[in-house]
Structure 1
């Protein structure tokens, strides 16, 4: 098993803004590093509007947390410095960071504007140890770019991510699988990667309060209460993660739709209604183009402007709005849990790996044998799928003749659903 680094900028927006302000200060001005005073990025002091996107260590001591309203932060620390965000500048700094890291190795997977994974395997002969390389990376970033990063080292991705979240800033930490009992199991369960608020509440009800208790709980109990996500959390708590550093991340192309919401959403029921609308629109476009898709992806932008996405590839093609909806719900829940149930500003569903309707898929002899042994179990599913196809065909005919808004699911009749015909909100 190779060695993986997770590199994360310490309080990225605040650090990047601090670097910019220090560079712009004139000789006559007193240089103030906002990283060393109570300061936050985000919002408007006069209007008391917006949320905290990033905070200094001094601000954290006042109890200020990322994601809370500016008005709350001002109550906790009335004299706090508030600096509006500059997302264009942050993107520039992100590009500089990734370009610098690629001078060490091209084997990098960027997962957000301020973090990435690095595969150490290709450069292991150039350094006496992974620690030596990690310290070299950390110190080079600080020297050349002016801000600090944490580097987590492990033999699996999820533990590298966990390690980089240990004490900050400007630190290097290891968390190999052999170290999890000593370094990770005593941590509160909410500190486990992908353990969101709703999952943590469920775990607490089960008497699970730290990662070690989660790791030693029966897997079937977690799956019974948290479905697939319970299995993922159990695996992560035990240091199990088969994912690899993806250095060739290609842009997903195909048929899709996204909605910029007229207001931020943090209610799962409302979010699911939007996903249902998107799923039906995407599926309708697939059928209209006589296409089917094997890959389904969900795209999210949160109210702090951070983007995230997750995708899955099926073993067969689909053009069913119901199937796309079920997949997108599951994908979104995984993302939302991972990112702490943040309010959502944009939602999107995209499909890829398209094939023409009616195209026959090649089957191996193993596929045929597997289908034969599962024929009875799948009979009901196949009948339901056939009924759904007929229903989709009938709905398409009605929409084509009378308009898309003339027929819709009962669950979408509520007033709060977004008007998909309004170009102000959605993009294809």
Structure 2
């Protein structure tokens, strides 16, 4: 039996979800005017997270500073991110999608895969069914989606990225030569800028060029593992299953983009502590500990730098994570103005055993452990925003809003 996979993707999700809320209040639709999500509307600072089609016509780009976007489009409407709204809208979108398929995989906050294999008796016409799902979402929730249809996840996702918005597209294996191979290599799923540069320098410009090259040639350019995977993708080959349950997290991370440049350690440390507090809270809720801590920061030239340390014992304590993150940051930062910082916890384990050290203050460690447990209990019962550490009360407003919204969503599901 041939597989039948749908990929459903919300069109300009953050912008669309905010637009629906504004329309309910009688405000202009952000999708029809030059507008963006991200940054501070009063200060006109921050980073563009999402943009409208009219804003795109002015050259506004996702990821650029709002100040730069305003130079291109002085009348740009700027709206602050609201992750609680996004999670609420995402949940409503996914409930509709899940009602049509035996198996649904949440690929991101605004994307799902549906495995429609074996549903031909219920839904004999896949294209008609895709239109039905698309129209139901638009009519009931007020925003549009694209639906891609194929025999595997790769091709379904490629199809949904064709012309937008509010469209249904197919990309079946027999359509690959006409619909996919003429596209530029940059359009191939999971192929990044560095790989694109290597391929084009070697005279491989389209996905078709890549598909017709020898696999060994692509592996020489991109490495054995990545080269094999991307060469397979260029030929439309993907046997990955649609997973109803997400794979267990390989790590926990949080990043913050700043409205204003960070230029001192004193500015950074409260932010770093709040990030460590958020990410270790998430880790403890999953019953995990980590043995690796890394800190990433981005300078004004948009270069990311990452530094990592391995811990002697697995830990889930906020104070211990923060001490290591702080040490990494102070040792690696050279004083350049920063626009982003992030903390990641990896190499996870379920182990509860911990070797005691003669050179540590074990009583103080136990006090910190009890503090974490108390804060976790209060947050679980009364909400994630009901308690915080005194030393971070005056840190940048809005830090880790996305992560706290995610934790709130997890609480509501229980």
Contact 2:289 2:350 in 1 (8 A): no
**Paired position in structure 2 for 1:285:** 313
Q: How does 1:27-426 map to 2 (within 5 A)?
A: 31-227=27-223, 228-249=225-246, 251-252=248-249, 254-256=288-290, 261=295, 263-264=297-298, 267=303, 270-271=305-306, 273-274=307-308, 277=309, 280-281=310-311, 284-285=312-313, 345-351=342-348
CA distance in 2: counterparts of 1:218 and 1:347, whole angstroms: 38
Q: Deviations over 1:182-225 (max 9, x none)?
A: 00111111111101111111112211111111111121122122
Tell me the SS of whatever aligns to 1:58. helix
Moved more, 59-68 or 139-148: 59-68
Q: How far, CA to CA, are the matches of 2:140 and 2:61 in structure 1? A: 29
Mapped partners of 1:23, 1:91: distance in 2? 18
Closer, same or farther: CA 262–221 of 1 in aligned 2, 3 Å: closer
Task: Please state whether the residue corresponding to 2:346 is helix, strand or coil.
Answer: strand
Quote how far apart the aligned CAs of 1:71 are: 1.3
Give, in whole Å, the separation in 1 of the partners of 2:179 and 2:140: 32
Residue 41 of structure 1 and its aligned partner are, at CA, apart by 0.7
TM-score under structure 1 length normalisation: 0.64
Conserved 8 A contact 1:40-1:82: yes
Deviates more, 1:170-179 or 1:46-55: 46-55
Q: How many residues align?
A: 303
Q: State the secondary structure of the residue aligned to 2:121.
A: helix
C-alpha contact (below 8 Å) 1:41/1:82 kept by paired residues:
yes
> 1:59: Cα distance to partner?
0.9
Distance 1:249 1:83, change over 3 A: same
TM-score, scaled relative to structure 2 = 0.66
Structure 1 residue 267, shift from structure 2 partner: 4.5
**In structure 2, what is the Cα distance between the partners aligned to 1:146 and 1:88?**
18
| 1:66 CA drift (Å) | 1.3
Give the drift of 1:101: 1.3
Provide the rounded CA distance (Å) in 1 between the counterparts of 2:206 and 2:212.
10
Q: Provide closer, same or farther for how the CA distance between residues 163 and 72 of structure 1 changes in structure 2, counting only shifts above 3 A.
A: same
Residues 106 and 112, structure 2, Cα contact 8 Å, conserved in 1: yes
- Secondary structure of the residue aligned to 1:123 is coil
Listed as ranges, the gaps of 5+ residues in structure 1 are 26-30, 290-342, 357-395, 404-422
Q: What stretches of structure 2 of length at least 5 have no aligned partner?
A: 250-285, 317-339, 361-390, 393-398, 404-414
Looking at structure 2, the residues matched to 262 and 158 of structure 1 have their Cα atoms a distance apart, in angstroms, of 30
Measure the CA separation in 1 of the matches of 2:226 and 2:341: 20
Shift of 1:46: 4.2
Rounded to whole Å, the distance in 2 between the matches of 1:127 and 1:344 is 48
C-alpha separation in 2, matches of 1:350 and 1:188: 37
After superposing on structure 2, the runs of 4+ consecutive aligned residues of structure 1 that deviate more than 6 Å are 353-356, 423-427
2:407 is matched with none
CA distance in 1 between counterparts of 2:81 and 2:292 reads 24
CA distance in 2 between counterparts of 1:68 and 1:157 reads 30
How many Å apart are 1:230 and its aligned residue?
A: 1.7
Residue 411 of structure 2 corresponds to which residue in structure 1? none
Instruction: Name the residue aligned to 1:327.
Output: none
Q: Does the 8 A contact of 1:158 with 1:241 survive in 2?
A: yes
Shift, 1:347, TM fit: 2.5
